[in-house]
Amino acid sequence: MEFITDAKEMRKYIIDWWPAILKWPEEKIQAHLPKAVAIPKSVEEAQEAVKYAYDHGLAVVPFGGASGVLGGIVPEKPSLSIDMQKITGVVEFDEDNLLITANAGMFGRELEDYLNERGYTTGHYPQSIDLATIGGLVATKSAGTFSSKYGNIEDMMQCVEVILPDGTLFTNRNVPRSATGPSIPNLFIGSEGTLGLITKVTLKVHKIPERREFRGIEFDTLEEAVSTARDFYLRDIVPAVVRIYNSAEAQNLYAKINHTSDKILMIVGIVGAETIAPEILKQVLLTAAKRGGTDLGAEIGNNWEQHRYNADWLEEGNAEDTIIADAIEVSGNWTTLPKMYEVISKKLEGKVEKLWAHCSHCYPSGANIYFIIFAKGKDKEETLKKFNEIWQIIMENVHEIGGSGAHHHGIGRQRLPWFEEEIGTSYTILKDIKKAVDPKSVFNPGILKL
């Protein structure tokens, strides 16, 4: 097993895509470095690393691909960071049962490429697919762009293997469903490294669809677009992709097809059998037309599909000391979404240089909203202060309106101030679970306020 103790090398082990940490003074970053980084090459070596930390009073911070955006890998106490990237590869592809088991350090793209070569897919395409490991996707409760068809990571995982704080291994029976009390494996989905170290994951797989159709649809108002998305569920014609952009963000897509408009944009994606997908698309367009939607054709939809992993705005928006950008994803029911957007947009006036917003994950009862904010200050300190004020405005108003302040990025360190309010009495239960599983508070202390 390899170890790293050089401060310069360890720096990358606490810096993910969290915009706030980029504004930290160097001395603060140095103060949060782990004592060491362990790089195991096997589950057995990872167990040894966990046992060492357990016996020597060190915290354990699991490290995957550092694709998070909320500071979840920043240690709070003297810690051992465990880099899982060398515990990688496919363990088993069970084509008969439509399952694949992969080591937790395997990157999402690597797993998807492996399946695609054999005519299969997980259906899980988060924007971080090239940067995130399988273990990290489970630990942060990830969502992918085709979630309306394939579900989110919690819908895909059938079995998980985890190293517990004392070094022992947990796993569950690898079956489709089991009515044997509360689901213990699901405790590790969204646990953000607080209950154990994920080592293997078994996911459901699907054949690659025969046909894919993407389309752009314009609406005069957000209410019309949101109502149309709800109508898809009422008519049982839900596309695999349903995205709704405010006018400001829609400009990025309109520009790619030389289309001038200040309207709301919906992107839909239909995937399925050759004989079925075109008919679903036809019904989707008819449903949208009843709400005033105008079909813009396939070009804008195909353009979105080809560039859907691009997040240049995040890197560019945080490239200087005096600017900051972030994507803050929240969720709500159909009746609250338009109000949530209207109230928060109004309250952010004068606080942000630019506000993009879109819905990208829909459910029978509602959807998420991304608020993509761009702000600036005169120096690092003022910029970070403005950033935190923006977060406070969004979180407080989402809770007041009745939504959730976190859809799929998780909690990390940025969302900690609102976590207890978000989950209410569940927090007491969560603390009791932590005490039972991790009485020494070895795993990622402070995250989830544990």
- As annotated, the binding site for FAD includes 192-198
Q: In whole angstroms, give the CA distance from residue 93 to residue 104.
A: 15
Annotate 55-103 with DSSP letters as a single string. Answer: HTT-EEEEES----SS-TT--SSSEEEEE-TTS-SEEEEETTTTEEEEE
Token pair belonging to 289: 């037309």
Q: Among candidates 131, 134, 124, which has minimal Cα distance to 65?
A: 131
Residue 205 buriedness (CB in 10 A; 0-12 / 13-18 / 19+): buried
- What is the helix (H) or strand (E) element at residue 135, kind and residue range? helix 134-139
Is residue 161 a contact partner of residue 196, using CB atoms and an 8 Å limit? Answer: no
Residue 342: CA atoms inside 13 Å, Cβ hemisphere, count? 9
Give the span between the Cα atoms of 245 and 341, in whole angstroms: 11
Rounded Cα–Cα distance for residues 251 and 357 (Å)? 12
Can you tell me whether residue 106 is helix, strand or coil?
A: coil
Distance CA 31, CA 50 (A): 22
Determine which one of 13, 120, 150, 370 is catalytic.
370
- CA dist., res. 204 & res. 156, Å (int): 5
Kind plus residue range of the DSSP H or E element containing 330:
strand 323-333
Beta strands in 190-310 (DSSP E): 197-204, 206-207, 211-219, 241-245, 264-272, 294-297
In angstroms, the CA 450 to CA 395 distance is 20
Question: Residues 5-39, buried b or exposed e (16+ Cβ, 10 A)?
Answer: eeeeebeebbbbbbbbbbbbeeeebeebbbbbbbb
Residues with Cβ within 8 Å of residue 342, at least 6 apart in sequence: none
Tell me how far apart the alpha carbons of residues 273 and 14 are, in angstroms, rounded to a whole number: 44
Please tell me the total number of residues recorded for the chain in this structure. 450
- For the question of residue 370 being annotated catalytic, the response is yes
Between the CA of residue 338 and those of 26, 268, 335, 368, 424, what are the distances in Å? 41, 19, 7, 11, 25
Q: Catalytic amino acids?
A: 370
